[in-house]
Structure 1
Amino acid sequence: MGNTEKLMNQIMELKFTSKSFQRQSRKCEKEEKAEKLKIKKAMEKGNVDGSPIYAENAIRKHTEQMNYLRLASRLDAVVVRLDTQAKMFTINKSMGNIVKSLESSLATGNLQKMSETMDLFEKQFVNIEVQAEFMETAMAGYTSLSTPEGEVNSLMQQVAEDLGFISRYIAQIMH
């Protein structure tokens, strides 16, 4: 039981770390939004030098957010694998006990006991199949997140278009 207990403790630690990465991701998302708001304000004030800096910060925060999400996703995938491993360890131990029981019932010739033992044996195989199917489904759900790389100018253009004064901003940059 010591190995299973250690494995369960590791699973809990990994889940905790994954949640921490998700919190960090949400924090970065808020900071990205704040930087985008600063871009808007700088553009409205005509701050041509400041707005690209805020755009760079927003892009950096977006990249950081996606990195945290990727790490959390990868940890979640490891947790699923370890959890399946712990369950398989328990099933293997149970199967060993069933085999011993089957051997003793075969030696005694007790048909009732053999039938009960075979039912347990079949039930364990069904459990193994369900575990394997669950594992495959869960792992298919953990795909890598892709981060589209944005350009500082395209982000600034998007913000300017949202404000409806792209031509005024471009004119300020040109002068």
Structure 2
Amino acid sequence: MERLAIKAEKSQKTEEAKIKKSIQQGNNDGARIYAENSIRKKNEALNYHRMASRLDAVSQRVQTALTMKSATKSMTTAVRGMNAALESMDLQKITAIMDKFESQFEDLDVQTRVMDSSMAGMNALSTPEDQVDMLINKVADQHGLELSHELDASAVGSAMPSLSSEEDAKLMEKLKELRNLDE
């Protein structure tokens, strides 16, 4: 599963390179298609990672069950040994058996913590439609490319940070000054 995830991530990078090439050629429809493919590959990689995580969790559960079975057998043996040691009142045997018993419980705790942490790492992720436009803008910005005006202006605007009215006023004032300098 991890290999398939890596393969999907490589395909995602290839699609992003195709976005750049399409933007350079002025082919916005092609860029949109490649962006959709890139997002699809990204989701595919995430799904492979999610499935690998689930398989690891199942594996840990099976391992825990096997360990519990083994620990139960060991505890049974330890209880029998404790009974025999108590009958003979050999303190060294009692101490050795109790130490073994405690170490088995510690091992079981560690395995349970590992399983819990792997289960906590799983999460769901969904991708909204506006990611296509944002990805196209990102690729264009990274490579210093200009987009044609065919893209949805609202998607471009949504990627911009919002400014306060005071900052907006200052920027408008600077723009007016720059225009006056050009004239």
Correspondence 1:1-40 to 2 at 5 A = 21-40=1-20
> Once the 2 structures are TM-superposed, how far is the Cα of residue 116 of structure 1 from its aligned partner?
1.0
Q: 1:72 aligns with which of 35, 38, 52?
A: 52
Correspondence 1:87-166 to 2 at 5 A = 87-106=67-86, 109-112=87-90, 115-142=92-119, 143-145=121-123, 147=125, 149=127, 151-166=131-146
Q: Which residue of 1 aligns with 2:39?
A: 59
> Once the 2 structures are TM-superposed, how far is the Cα of residue 145 of structure 1 from its aligned partner?
4.3
> Once the 2 structures are TM-superposed, how far is the Cα of residue 81 of structure 1 from its aligned partner?
2.2
Distance of 1:128 and 1:86 partners within structure 2: 14
CA deviations on 1:63-103 (whole Å, 9 max, x unpaired) are: 01001101111211222222122112111101112222333
Higher helix share: 1
Q: Which residue of 2 aligns with 1:171?
A: 149
Q: Which residue of 1 aligns with 2:26?
A: 46
Structure with more contact order per residue of length (Cα contacts < 8 Å, sep ≥ 6): 1
Distance of 1:77 and 1:149 partners within structure 2: 25
RMSD: 2.3
Please list every run of 5 or more consecutive structure 1 residues that lacks an aligned counterpart in the other structure. 1-20
Q: 1:82 aligns with which of 46, 62, 79?
A: 62
Q: Say if 1:88 and 1:128, in contact at 8 Å, map to a contact too.
A: no
SS at match of 2:149: helix
Q: Say if 1:32 and 1:58, in contact at 8 Å, map to a contact too.
A: yes
Percent identity between the two aligned chains? 32
TM-score by length of 1: 0.74
Q: Which has the larger radius of gyration?
A: 2
Q: Which residue of 1 aligns with 2:155?
A: none
TM-score by length of 2: 0.71
Q: Say if 2:16 and 2:38, in contact at 8 Å, map to a contact too.
A: yes
| Matched residues, number | 149
